[in-house]
Amino acid sequence: MVQVLYYALAIIFMPTKWNKLKSTLSCFALTTATVVSVMFWGLYFYDKEVLMAKETFDIMPVWLMHVTHSLVGVTAILDVIISRPKPVPVMRSLSLVVLYYLGYVVLTEYLIAKEKYYVYPLIKMFSDVARYQFYGVVFIGILLVFLVSVFTIKFSSMESKRKSKKDKSRNKKPQQHQKPSQQAQKHSTVTNANAKNKKKPNKQE
């Protein structure tokens, strides 16, 4: 859902010059998508029943798991490579990531307190203290992924700047080669004109 919202906003903001907003959204999408992919498949290969009941996995097709938990990470990375956003405003992007994570934690705790519903069987296995410790560990992991996302976007932006500088230097070189040739042409036309004037007979003689 987050990825769908991101790409909808990206299409809207594409023609604009709001580069900081684009970079913020790109970093947010890359961070959340990477966390989702790494956590889901890490827990899946460890013990998939901590994510969902076995009956749910039997019903869910494999392609749906890859679309919702693998494709999001791949598309986020491709988006950074293709769009090459500007360097990320770190504090603004970090605030957005933290607010999203805290909102998810608040929703999870609300469902546990009011509905006695656990989003994942893994959370049900924890005591109250252990659950909050788990939130803290996940938060540290999110911060690390966020820093990697920031440097990835920064590196991508530096590469695009280098390519643009190379293109500009290549465009300047032909112009520099053309200027001496133009001067040579002017010099040859002047010498030809002088030669013609010398060949003309003097009328006074």
For residue 41, what pLDDT is reported?
Answer: 92
The span from the CA of 145 to the CA of 32, in Å, is 9
The span from the CA of 66 to the CA of 33, in Å, is 12
Least confident range of 49-58, 83-92, 173-182: 173-182
Least confident range of 83-87, 129-133, 152-156, 188-192: 188-192
Q: Of 130 and 182, which is predicted with more confidence?
A: 130
Q: Please, what's the largest Cα pairwise distance for the chain?
A: 120
pLDDT value at 205 more than 50: no
Residue keyed to tokens 């491709």: 78
**pLDDT, mean of residues 53-68:** 85
**pLDDT, mean of residues 131-143:** 95
pLDDT confidence bin for 181, thresholds 50/70/90: low
Q: Which of 38, 11, 19 is nearest to 146 (CA)?
A: 38
pLDDT value at 12 more than 90: no
The span from the CA of 26 to the CA of 86, in Å, is 10
Q: Which of 122, 101, 124, 150 is nearest to 40 (CA)?
A: 122
Residue keyed to tokens 């030809």: 192
pLDDT confidence bin for 91, thresholds 50/70/90: very high
Q: Mean of the per-residue pLDDT values for the chain?
A: 78
The separation between the first and the last C-alpha atoms of the chain, rounded to the nearest angstrom, is 98
